[in-house]
Amino acid sequence: MSLQLRSLFLVSALLASAACGKKGGGDGGHDCDDVEAAMRRIDPDRTKDIKPGTFAKLCKQKTEEFTQARIDCTVAAKNYDELKVCADPSKAPLKPAEGATAALAWRDVPKFGAKLNVPGDVTVEQKDSNAHLTNGTFKINLFKVDEFSQKSAAEAKASLQKEPGFVKFTKEEAGDKTWHFDYELAAGKTGTSARIDVGHPLDCGVHNVAPEVMAMASAACSTAKSL
């Protein structure tokens, strides 16, 4: 990556993902110099060619955008995903309710306009185009349908058959606008892939997991409905 591209990438990350707090950092809070240090800590390789003080300068110039909360959030961030949460708190993982167990319960995925019947102790992680629900054992993924998504059940089926280690389908439900495939992979692994309708299309599934995890994910995809 060129020096110019590296600079643009990191400066964009600061403005779009970590636009944060006041320049003073009073009341014991962090300041723009701390933002500078944080950006360089998060990605030392990309920031090494960027002029020292660049991030602090941006922070100090954009005082109307840089709240103290976002400065503190940026300083605490460990990676770019956490920086995005600083800019948009709705992207923060949705933790399970206190005392939640692995018993099935309805969990909302607000950014995707859906809810699924899954283990109640899952954490819901939402990004721009995909969401991940897991409790460490169970896992399931949701994807927004876009121009790069499969266009038909036949296309989805053919794509799955090309997956490394594909063995056979154990479930095939193919409709005009929705479909659902469960499949076996080599070495005892399995997967499930479904185009679902929750008032708008989503892709739902999980790949290369133990059969018991796949079975739960497949069932969960079938339960999905609109919020």
Compute the distance between CA of residue 87 and CA of residue 67 in angstroms, rounded to an integer. Answer: 10
pTM of the entire structure?
A: 0.74
Residue 95: DSSP 8-state: P
Domain chopping of the chain, boundaries: 3-89, 104-226
CA-to-CA separations, 92 to 42, 109, 132, in angstroms, rounded: 18, 12, 12
| Helix axes of 54-61 and 3-12: crossing angle, nearest 10 degrees | 40
What is the tens place of the pLDDT at every residue in 57-66? 988 988 777 7
- What local confidence, expressed as pLDDT, does residue 17 receive? 42
Kindly report the CATH number that applies to the domain delimited by 104-226: 3.40.1000
Report the percentage of the chain scoring pLDDT > 70.
88
What is the tens place of the pLDDT at every residue in 136-162? 999 999 999 999 999 999 999 999 999
User: Does residue 9 surpass a pLDDT of 80?
Assistant: no
Compute the distance between CA of residue 43 and CA of residue 92 in angstroms, rounded to an integer. Answer: 21
Residue 221: φ, ψ to 5°: -60, -40
- The highest-confidence range among 11-15, 16-20, 86-90, 187-191, by mean pLDDT, is 187-191
Q: What is the mean pLDDT of the chain?
A: 88
Average pLDDT over residues 24-32: 66
User: Does residue 24 surpass a pLDDT of 60?
Assistant: no
- What local confidence, expressed as pLDDT, does residue 7 receive? 47
- What local confidence, expressed as pLDDT, does residue 41 receive? 94
